[in-house]
Amino acid sequence: MNSRKIYTGLVVLLLLAALLLSRHIDPEKQRYQQHLSYNTQVEDTSLSIDEDTFSSHLPVVSIETGGVVIPGRPEQGQHVKDIENSFIQADMRIYDREGELNKLSSQPVLESKINIRVRGNSSRTFDKVGYLFKFTDDAGMERKLEVMGMEKDSTWVLHGPYLDKTLMRNYMWYNLAGQIMEWAPDVRYCEVFLDHEYQGLYVMAEQISMGEGRIEMTKYDGKSNISSYIVCADRESVNDVQYLDNFTSYALRINGKLEVKYPGASRITPELTEYISRDFSRFEKALYSFDYDTARYGYQNYIDVDSFVDYFIINEVTQNTDAGLYSTYFYKDVSGKLKMCVWDFNNCCDNYIEDQTPMAGFFMQNRPWYFMLCKDEAFMEKVITRYHQLRKGILSEEAVESYIAGVQSYLGPAIERNFEKWGYSFLPEKDLLYEDERKIGSYEAAVEQYETRLVRRMRWMDEHIEDLRSYSHESINKKFNH
């Protein structure tokens, strides 16, 4: 009788273990993919960008400022870092009907006051800019609204692909990262009008923030000196923001600063900033310590290692050159471990403005924090194993090529409408990439370059992924090991 119970218990344990393992191996979490679901059967043939005759199978966003210039662009000779962020109030209408073409003459599904500004770093200087906006009531108080089927929130990003002539880098990699990692920003394509003038194809994206459907953590109660938090490593800003006095910054391992994104500026206190600095530094001190890889004292006690592994792989596959330096986000529930989430793939796949990105070679092992993580054999083994898993599914060559083709087909005439407005960006003298041989003359050429580069990169990684072990080998890390 006892033997039968023991046998049954072992079977149950094995089944549970298999279930947990399968959940880890199969990264294909459920995520809404607009290009597979929204108005895929609606015929869209018009190429007009005049507001009276315009129509689209995509959602349409209309912003009216009354002729007031949206702030945030640098003035003549002004450096981007010297811009002080300020907002203006505007009116927004969103046209988002499934099963029919969206037109500005239709009844909007959403109307609201917004506060809006230009966002980004180098992208603020582009002809086509992105925006950050917040829904408000008539009194100017922020309010949360659902947008295009995404969870309610007050703060949103309108990303305007300009440097990325494929129009799909952020849309694609936010979606893929959302299937691989715990969370990534939800996104929807839309077309935008500003003061009755067509502005082209945009990506409506969730801001990295705490809330239901976004990063779900224990909410700050407004009283305690401890809290869940979101921080971002980025360039310094002149705005009134709270920076961490964390260990890595003190050790001069990063060029920029870690800025507190949550709790927000209106709720942060010096005591809370001090708590977040000390809490984040506990991970860093463990990472840079003599005992960095030990079970009792090591970094793994402070971070969700799988999250850091997935972030490493996604950014290595895409060669997202800013990763680990700028726009690098961490978040931590007050009772959990530190995790990472992705942001901004404009520069990926050899689309960096200043320099060509070599197709071969790894780079994440030289980035802050990863400089030490990659010295641990256990971490490198997790990266290698996870990479092989993902290459059998979401990151397989067939899956990636199919995704690119699917998005291109779905966008259809929206691509032509966008380049009716911004087609001059294909002229050599208007192309933002420095080297002449990298300048791209058409949308088709941009997609071909992107897909070819991505496939070649993954094939190179297939051949060299095992080489990552060299970064954790004792022969080069003796001084770090005990």
Per-residue pLDDT averaged across 59-67, rounded? 97
* pLDDT score for 459: 98
Residue 16: pLDDT band with limits 50, 70, 90: very low
The more confidently predicted of residues 11 and 340 is 340
* pLDDT score for 9: 44
Per-residue pLDDT averaged across 112-127, rounded? 93
Mean pLDDT, the chain, rounded, equals 90
Look up residue 47 and give its two tokens: 């190429």
Least confident of 26-30, 75-79, 244-248: 26-30
The more confidently predicted of residues 257 and 185 is 185
Q: What is the CA radius of gyration of the chain?
A: 24
167-211 pLDDT per residue, tens: 999 999 999 999 999 999 999 999 999 999 999 999 999 999 999
pLDDT for 22 beyond 60 = no
* pLDDT score for 175: 98
For the CA atoms of 352, 240, 257, 153, the dihedral, rounded to the nearest 10 degrees, stands at -60
373-422 pLDDT per residue, tens: 999 999 999 999 999 999 999 999 999 999 999 999 999 999 999 999 99
Highest mean pLDDT: which range of 112-126, 165-179, 226-240: 165-179
pLDDT for 76 beyond 60 = yes
pLDDT for 346 beyond 60 = yes
* pLDDT score for 239: 59
The more confidently predicted of residues 17 and 64 is 64
Residue 4: pLDDT band with limits 50, 70, 90: very low
128-177 pLDDT per residue, tens: 999 999 999 999 999 999 999 999 999 999 999 999 999 999 999 999 99
Per-residue pLDDT averaged across 320-349, rounded? 95
* pLDDT score for 12: 35
* pLDDT score for 384: 98
**Percent of the chain, pLDDT > 70?**
89
